Amino acid sequence: MAPETGSGGYDERCDVWGAGAVAYTLALDKHVFSNPRGLHMLADQEEVAKWEDELFTIMLQEEVDFKDGTWSMHDRELKQLVQLMLVKDWDQRMRARDILSQNSWLKQFDDSNAACCCSIS
């Protein structure tokens, strides 16, 4: 969930954040933010809501950690892409079309001649 969803905001940049969070998790094998208080699978709705509120507070107060040494195992351009996607201020976060058309790490996978459901152009 993007930080702005806690205050009711939503547009495509929330999805950019979500995709960035997935890429971060896949690259580092850890979540962007975590609530140190665990949540039991059988928690009731009130407990889940409290846990989510705590997580949003953590998300708003903490910065995304890009100092983790695991990044050295990945392309610098991948890290830069994830940094662009995880900008907290959604007014400053790039839109999906701009990331797809401008990011050098993603462009290396563009094969305009391949049969695909989408194109980066």
H helices present in 35-75, as ranges? 45-61
For the domain covering 3-107, report its CATH number: 1.10.510.10
Contacts of 106 (CB under 8 A, 6+ apart): 81, 99, 100, 120
| Per-position pLDDT tens, the chain of length 121 | 788 877 777 888 899 999 999 999 999 999 999 878 887 777 889 998 898 889 889 988 999 999 888 889 998 999 999 999 999 998 999 999 998 888 888 888 776 555 555 555 5
**CA-CA distances (angstroms) from residue 78 to 9, 12, 58, 71, 113?**
27, 21, 25, 9, 24
**CB-based contact 64:87 (threshold 8 Å):** no
- Domains in the chain: boundaries: 3-107
Question: If you search the block for the tokens 């839109």, which residue do you land on?
Answer: 95
Q: What pTM, to 2 d.p., does this model score?
A: 0.79
